[in-house]
A and B are shown apart, each in its own frame.
Chain A
Amino acid sequence: MNLRLLASIPEDGYAIVRDVDSIFLLRPPYDRASRIALLPNDVRDAVTKHGFIAENVDFASYAEIIEHLEMQIARSREESGIPQETPLIDALALAPPEIIREFLRRTEHELIPKRQWDHAEDILVNTLAARNEDEFRRTALDLREKLRMARQGFQRWQPPDARFKTRESESCKTISQLIKQFHRIFEPVT
């Protein structure tokens, strides 16, 4: 794959990339949905007026470009003294109600079913600490209970393939012991 990084805004991790004959703007989270098709003239505008820095560096894959951008973000933010991260509680305290509702919905329907329990716990604990609204407290407490039960249930329960493997290995052990005993009993006398 022949990719050329044409320009970037280091602190934001934005990049303009030429992929064969097409030009794209890449922005975090760097998924396909966040890619925007650009025209060649947009590169000129981006560099000369909108704070992009011309790059012209070739990369073998999108993964390599993203790794480069991630390093640039860390380095440039350290140099300019703007934060690279912030406590979750600060953001949750400022979030509009519909955003909190959406975070709780995603915690219930995405994080807990996918067993991303630490992440779920983080969202719930910080929501309880940041918000006083009854609606959010009630939902967050309910979800914490659901999370606790899911965690406990998982610890008691082992996936079927794990149980099978355990039994299989125990069986193998038993068979190998029997063979050893057989050899011991019927060992030819020399």
Chain B
Amino acid sequence: MLNLVALAEANGSRWEATFRDLSGRHTALAEFAQWVQESSRISLNCGWSTVTHLLKGDCLKNHHELAREKAERDGSNPDDHLRASLKEFYQRRVAFDHAFENGEAFRYGALNGGCVGLENYGPLCLVLGMEKQESLEASACLLPGDSLFLCTNATEDFDESRTTDLVGAFRQRAIYVSTNRFEAIAMSQKAEWLRVLLNSDNRKDGCVEVIFVGTVTIKDLEAVRLSQAAHDAAWNAVFAAHAPDARISTKATAADLTAFFTAVRHKALPMEIIL
């Protein structure tokens, strides 16, 4: 079994050398790297119910953990639940996760420079706090895009040489992202760096993926970010939830929003609305 952190560390000097080389070619690269070092946070997008669970004291759970939990309840095999919830993506996810020590405990986040993250997957962006991020400084790893796309081949098997070539250490995130997004940085204005980091223009590869191990609870969050539109839509659900013909989904969103704002009011959860 491979150790992802060891692979990332082994690449450290190569990323440094590439960064030095590229810095000479574009002056903005050093400034971009500094911005990434100072501003970037690990974020995960989710729906309202996830925050309700976190407020109840639950931890974030990945597919393996959820499958084990379901199997404990019904006495079945966790792998059956995993297959059922991943279906056609089962082979690739398991090929990647099982290639590494502790792979079933991997969590997949995105490197975020201050926006609402990957909103398509959930309107709420959970941003890990500095303390949590620092605790992951030596153990989190980076890939320039989606691990399933980049690190498995056409036959859905794990591609070790590609993974070994691409992975970087989280502690080197500034030079890693600058190197891997060099062309986009060279063609962008400073105001576009948020998008460059999230790679929102190139959804084939996706965001910079942060892979880490460890629990995430409500106390680990620096903020929950949401767009003004998502905020307003949730309050619209509150308004609509008490109509005689209100749907269950509307009532459920209203219930989650109430739990969320109760926590915000009691300063248990910092909220950031992004215009």
Contact = CB atoms under 8 A, between A and B. Distances in A.
Nearest to A69: B249
Tell me whether chain B's interface is mostly helix, strand or loop, or mixed.
Answer: helix
A45 B121 contact: yes
A56 B87 contact: yes
B179 interface: no
B89 A54 contact: yes
B47 A9 contact: yes
Please indicate which of the listed interface residues A38, A45, A103 has the most CB atoms of chain B within 10 Å of its own CB: A45
Given A36-B120, A45-B206, A47-B89, A91 B233 contact: no
A36 B50 CA distance: 20
Q: How large is the interface on B (under 10, 10 to 19, 20 to 34, 35 or more residues)?
A: 35 or more
B99 interface: no
A84 B255 contact: yes
Interface in A70-118: 70, 73-74, 77, 80-86, 88, 90-91, 94-95, 99, 102-103, 106, 116, 118
A44 B252 contact: no
A77 B86 CA distance: 21
Closest CB pairs A-B (n = 4): A12-B47, A54-B87, A28-B249, A50-B121
B262 A41 contact: no
A173 interface: no
Contacts of A44: 89, 146, 148-149
B257 A54 contact: no
Contact of A42 (B120, B240, B244): B120
B252 A84 contact: yes
Contact of B239 (A45, A49, A50, A123): A123
Given A28-B237, A41-B203, A80-B53, A54 B252 contact: no
Contacts of B249: 13, 28-30, 69-70, 73
Given A51-B50, A84-B251, A88-B242, 7 more contacts: A13-B252, A38-B120, A49-B121, A82-B52, A86-B258, A94-B262, A116-B243
A173 to B, nearest CB: 36
B184 to A, nearest CB: 18
A50 B86 contact: no
Contacts of B122: 9, 12, 14, 50-51
A22 to B, nearest CB: 14
B243 A85 contact: no
A90 B49 contact: no
B56 interface: yes
B238 interface: yes
Contacts of B257: 91
Interface string A10-39: 011110000000000101111000101011
B248 to A, nearest CB: 5
Contacts of B45: 50
B20 to A, nearest CB: 32
Nearest to B205: A41
A46 B261 CA distance: 26
Contacts of A53: 84-85
Contacts of A90: 258, 262
B121 A28 contact: no
18 contacts: A30-B249, A34-B233, A38-B120, A42-B121, A42-B203, A45-B146, A50-B122, A54-B85, A70-B247, A73-B248, A73-B249, A82-B49, A83-B252, A84-B255, A94-B264, A99-B235, A118-B244, A123-B242
Contacts of B52: 82-83
A102 B122 CA distance: 25
Given A85-B255, A94-B265, A12 B48 contact: yes
B239 A103 contact: yes
Contacts of A41: 146, 149, 203-204, 206
B121 A11 contact: no
B59 to A, nearest CB: 13
A64 to B, nearest CB: 14
B235 A83 contact: no
Interface string B52-77: 11001000000100000000000000
B88 interface: yes
A27 B46 CA distance: 13
Given A28-B237, A47-B86, A50-B122, A119 B148 contact: no
